[in-house]
Structure 1
Amino acid sequence: MTTTSCTRCGAARRTSGTHRCPGPTDPARALGVGTAVDAVLVALGSVGRPFLVGGVVRDALLRSAGRAVPEDDDHDVDVEVHGADTTPVVDALRTAGAVVVTTGRRFEVLRVVLDDVHVDVAVVPGAGDDRALAEAAARRDFTVDAVAWDPATNEYVDASGGIDDAARGVLRHTSERFGDDPLRVLRAVQLVARFDLAVHPTTIELARSLADAWSSIAPERIWPEIRKAARGDHQSHALQVLHDIGWERHFPELAAVRDVPQDPRWHPEGPVHVHLGLAADAAAAACTADGVTGEDRTVVVLGALLHDLGKAGDGTRTVHRDDGTVRIRSLGHEVSGARAARDLLRRIGAPRTVTDRIGAVVREHMVVHSTDGAAPSVPAARRLLRRLGGSIATAECWARVCEADSQGRGPASSASTAGAWLAVVRAVAAADRVRLVTGRDLIASGLTPGPRFREVLDAAAAAQDDGLFEDAEGARAWLSEQLGD
């Protein structure tokens, strides 16, 4: 029998088989077990043997190993209950005051809500002995996600070496059943982005063997993994893993910029894919430092990751000058890049609002270079804000992506002038909250709703943005001229 020492408790353990490791001194704090989760565990304990599993246990183990764990704003709690049938489990939960919805085909999964806390309860065959726990662990994706916590004994129950893998920062599949759901490959990528884990070589090979199963994954399942990946600070590492496992080809717009050269004067860090990874790292780190979360973080991180997709193919050209020097140029890549980003995001199921915001940010990311370091004029800031949909939140995301673009250039990294632009944009937004020409003005001037109506309103917005009028009197004069009065 081969034995080793547990990296957490130091006790001897078999290299195969279930190991019980003393739990945290303060389970409620370490595992985030609040009153509602405790009530669910107590209710389940009256009819079976409950175990806390999944992300909350993984995160506790990673934290105890000294690894940074980002906040998760929609972290459901996972519980397995052994030795009970579904009906008494549901009855016990409802008696405790929980709302229970049954779902799942292969394994019974209960969606439980108690005091606004969401808990997923899996009803697992077996009595909760070591063998049953090992079988349940083998059905999970990675060893770090397969460690259970026993509330009855305050012990971690590890049947696959997940405690050691968490301590070493290794992401390793639990069993060959990993391939039952190819989405787990993308889950590996997002876990790398969030926790900077090293993917075990055997897991990389297994993931590569599953590359052709991409078409079996519904787009609506892909997007949540990409959104979670954007929460992590380790984007370049995740991008490299996506390449190493052979799944980058399923994101052809990203695959197309791999090894595409850039002018070394502006991009000494190397080809486009290196720049995108560094820019996304910078964007993620800045969002973490400044507390940017939710959709805004998704727009910033993915905007930085995708901002130069337009440099693929004919988007980048090598120019040989008469003096013998060579320059690499990517003129207009921001426009073609916006199209590519939108196409990619649509295919992976991104919401329309996210797709539109990222598309606008990518399209406008070169504007910051148009003023040679100076602050923009008021009309230029107005036009930019209008092209960004009139949203200050999107303008702030745009500024962060522009800054990440400048910071993701290796030895040539520097601050951008996006902050100066954003200051003018904010001032413009505060001053121009009210449009000076409205539909009521057009109707009062005798114009009836129709195609011409919209044309005049759009022209009025552009004229106000360009500073052709700044008050009601100027607006009336402009409108009179447009309508030929």
Structure 2
Amino acid sequence: MHDTTPCPRCGARRDDTVHRCPAAADVLGLPPAALRVLEVLSAVGRPVVVGGTVRDALLREAGVALPAATGPDVDVELHGAPGTEVVVDALRRAGAVVVTVGAQFAVCKVLLDATHLDVAVVPGAVVDDPALDRAVAVASRHRDLTVNAVAWDPARGVFLDADHGIDDARDRVLRHASDAFGDDPLRVLRVVRFVARYGFSVHPDTVRLARALSDRWDTIAHERLWPEVRRLTEGDHLSAALDVLHATDWERHLPELAAVRDVPQDPTWHPEGPVHVHSGLAADAAARACRASGAAGDRRVVVVLAALLHDLGKAGDGTQRVVDADGSVRIRSIGHEVAGAVAAAALLRRLGAPRSVVREVAVLVREHMVTHSTHGAPPSLPAARRLLRRLGGAVATAEAWALVCEADSRGRGPAASSSAAGAWLDVLRSDQVSGRRTGFVTGRDLVDAGLAPGPRFRALLAEAAEAQDDGVFDDAASGRRWLAARLAEATPAGD
């Protein structure tokens, strides 16, 4: 890749193994504590800042809109230090909390003034600039992508770019740094995650390499999958990420998702095209809605995944072609929300998602069609109560459900519109609904009435919940009267 073309950032021609591009510290936006740590490390070796801090600085300069930072974490490589003990002692004398992990290659976990830094102590004697440049060039070959392989040298105030990472940041391209990319096939999922985060294209050579790695899915440790999937939901470009999954042949490892590719939909309701297109657009809409509403952490994970997976039930027999008397063909997907909940849960369990995430995503998928039953009108109180009960009784889950329904409506291309879920949510939040979540007829009431736990016991509790939702009774006293009357009805005369 080395050539003499001008650097798009500084205009200088590349004439060496590593291009040195001038950059002051303020370009990186480093917090004062990080600058202090670099100063301390400079007294015992040659530190360079690497990883996401440098990448995001280049992307900001290139005009890329970045998601909000999760914290001031900084990755540092320290070359030429006499030993880990010397490094730890210097940092502690500066007031930092330091924990060392690793054996052959020590990494110091550093905390100073709420700033976290990972300092990798690289073995070997590095004392001058040419030696440092060579060491950075060697290290860059072992990084995943060129945009992640650029380092920053505080001593000279320059970016060190061995693989045209600065160019790729400007061109918004994700490209593998070397063939060592294939040493860890999980890196393909990391590329998909970066696409979701930045909306970048993937270089054709990297797509070809990723396809060649597809058969190595089973070599990835199971516990490594969920963290990548979880972070995928942090981006706003899920539809682009789906395209990369398909192009790299990694979509086949998510069979429930692959099964909805090119599944047709009724063009009246879905002019955007087949199910996989709608799924991506809905996930994009959910991500934007989460960012606008401040939904973050597990809330965002659940909402984005539910929007992405909400139509999995349209695969296979979930979609039917109906031929009318006039010969016209309609496409229907009756009951797909129920089948979709099962499929979403199965997929998430295999990816190692926590039970709470699996359960809530499945509930949101199962209930995403509810608003269509009222054709845009606000629900009745009984309908809202029943929905809230099916959602688990939590208003927070109802709010997540409304976001998913809205994303479903927004992810329809030319037919994008607002959902009736907002009107439903107003009713769900009301005291007449959310204030009545407590069951007024309890198992203790049934025991006091002489019933033993069993099938009839459970059936009566379910019937009581439905009666309460319908407004048949509205407090514990009237609930007990309802129960007494219900038991009297079920008791034969003379008993």
* Same fold by TM-score greater than 0.5: yes
Select 1:374's aligned residue among 374, 377, 385: 377
**How many residues are treated as equivalent by the alignment?**
481
2:19 alignment partner in structure 1: 19
Is the Cα–Cα contact under 8 Å of residues 309 and 340 in structure 1 kept in the other structure?
yes
1:7 alignment partner in structure 2: 8
Is the Cα–Cα contact under 8 Å of residues 393 and 437 in structure 2 kept in the other structure?
no
Q: What's the CA shift for 1:89?
A: 2.1
- Aligned partner of 1:63: which letter? R
Determine the C-alpha separation between the residues in 1 that align with 2:254 and 2:69. 25
Q: How does 1:278-427 map to 2 (within 5 A)?
A: 278-427=281-430
Deviations 1:283-336 (A, max 9, x none): 112222222211111111111111000111111121122221111111111011
Determine the C-alpha separation between the residues in 1 that align with 2:359 and 2:337. 15
Asked if residue 197 in structure 1 is aligned to residue 200 in structure 2, the reply is yes
Select 1:178's aligned residue among 177, 181, 204: 181
Q: SS of the residue aligned with 2:86?
A: helix
2:37 alignment partner in structure 1: 40
Q: What's the CA shift for 1:238?
A: 0.7
Q: What's the CA shift for 1:369?
A: 0.5
Asked if residue 466 in structure 1 is aligned to residue 460 in structure 2, the reply is no
1:91 alignment partner in structure 2: 89
Q: What's the CA shift for 1:443?
A: 5.3
Determine the C-alpha separation between the residues in 2 that align with 1:446 and 1:118. 62
- Aligned partner of 1:470: which letter? D
Is the Cα–Cα contact under 8 Å of residues 337 and 363 in structure 1 kept in the other structure?
yes
Q: SS of the residue aligned with 1:4?
A: coil
2:59 alignment partner in structure 1: 62
Q: SS of the residue aligned with 1:304?
A: helix
- Aligned partner of 1:437: which letter? V
Cα distance, 1:135–1:346 mapped onto 2, change above 3 Å: same
Q: SS of the residue aligned with 2:235?
A: coil
Is the Cα–Cα contact under 8 Å of residues 403 and 418 in structure 1 kept in the other structure?
yes
Aligned-residue sequence identity (percent) comes to 63
Select 1:122's aligned residue among 120, 123, 134: 120
Q: What's the CA shift for 1:354?
A: 1.1
- Pick which of 64-73 and 288-297 moved more: 288-297
Q: How does 1:78-157 map to 2 (within 5 A)?
A: 78-84=75-81, 85-104=83-102, 107-126=105-124, 127=126, 129-157=132-160
- Aligned partner of 1:40: which letter? V
Q: What's the CA shift for 1:471?
A: 2.6
Determine the C-alpha separation between the residues in 1 that align with 2:185 and 2:434. 49
Q: How does 1:248-287 map to 2 (within 5 A)?
A: 248-287=251-290
Q: SS of the residue aligned with 1:400?
A: helix
Deviations 1:187-221 (A, max 9, x none): 00010111111111111111111111111112321
Greater Rg by CA: 2
- Aligned partner of 2:436: which letter? D
- Pick which of 430-439 and 3-12 moved more: 430-439
Q: SS of the residue aligned with 1:208?
A: helix
Q: What's the CA shift for 1:94?
A: 3.2
Q: What's the CA shift for 1:431?
A: 2.4
Q: SS of the residue aligned with 1:370?
A: helix
Q: What's the CA shift for 1:80?
A: 0.9
Determine the C-alpha separation between the residues in 2 that align with 1:273 and 1:247. 15
Q: What's the CA shift for 1:452?
A: 6.0
Q: In angstroms, what is the RMSD of aligned CA positions? A: 2.2
Is the Cα–Cα contact under 8 Å of residues 124 and 136 in structure 1 kept in the other structure?
no
1:53 alignment partner in structure 2: 50
Unaligned segments of structure 1, at least 5 residues:
none
Determine the C-alpha separation between the residues in 1 that align with 2:159 and 2:310. 44
Determine the C-alpha separation between the residues in 1 that align with 2:355 and 2:399. 19
Determine the C-alpha separation between the residues in 2 that align with 1:183 and 1:106. 23
Q: What's the CA shift for 1:412?
A: 1.5
Unaligned segments of structure 2, at least 5 residues:
none
Deviations 1:312-371 (A, max 9, x none): 111112112222111111111101111111111111111111111111000001111011
Q: What's the CA shift for 1:76?
A: 3.4
Is the Cα–Cα contact under 8 Å of residues 90 and 100 in structure 1 kept in the other structure?
yes
Is the Cα–Cα contact under 8 Å of residues 316 and 330 in structure 1 kept in the other structure?
yes
- Pick which of 346-355 and 122-131 moved more: 122-131
- Pick which of 99-108 and 154-163 moved more: 99-108
- Aligned partner of 2:287: which letter? A
Determine the C-alpha separation between the residues in 2 that align with 1:369 and 1:210. 43
- Aligned partner of 2:112: which letter? L
Select 1:213's aligned residue among 211, 216, 219: 216
- Aligned partner of 2:415: which letter? A
Determine the C-alpha separation between the residues in 2 that align with 1:445 and 1:261. 55
Determine the C-alpha separation between the residues in 1 that align with 2:333 and 2:197. 32
Q: SS of the residue aligned with 1:356?
A: helix
- Aligned partner of 1:108: which letter? A
Asked if residue 73 in structure 1 is aligned to residue 76 in structure 2, the reply is no
Q: What's the CA shift for 1:483?
A: 4.2
1:477 alignment partner in structure 2: 481
Is the Cα–Cα contact under 8 Å of residues 392 and 429 in structure 1 kept in the other structure?
no
Q: How does 1:237-256 map to 2 (within 5 A)?
A: 237-256=240-259
Cα distance, 1:458–1:162 mapped onto 2, change above 3 Å: same
Cα distance, 1:283–1:147 mapped onto 2, change above 3 Å: same
1:31 alignment partner in structure 2: 28
Q: What's the CA shift for 1:81?
A: 0.9
Q: What's the CA shift for 1:21?
A: 1.2
Determine the C-alpha separation between the residues in 2 that align with 1:133 and 1:210. 27
Determine the C-alpha separation between the residues in 1 that align with 2:304 and 2:464. 34
Determine the C-alpha separation between the residues in 2 that align with 1:70 and 1:282. 15
Is the Cα–Cα contact under 8 Å of residues 125 and 132 in structure 1 kept in the other structure?
no
- Aligned partner of 2:53: which letter? V
Normalized against structure 2, the TM-score is what?
A: 0.92
Cα distance, 1:107–1:255 mapped onto 2, change above 3 Å: farther
Determine the C-alpha separation between the residues in 1 that align with 2:424 and 2:235. 28
Cα distance, 1:122–1:479 mapped onto 2, change above 3 Å: same
- Aligned partner of 2:8: which letter? T
Is the Cα–Cα contact under 8 Å of residues 31 and 60 in structure 1 kept in the other structure?
yes
Determine the C-alpha separation between the residues in 2 that align with 1:118 and 1:216. 32
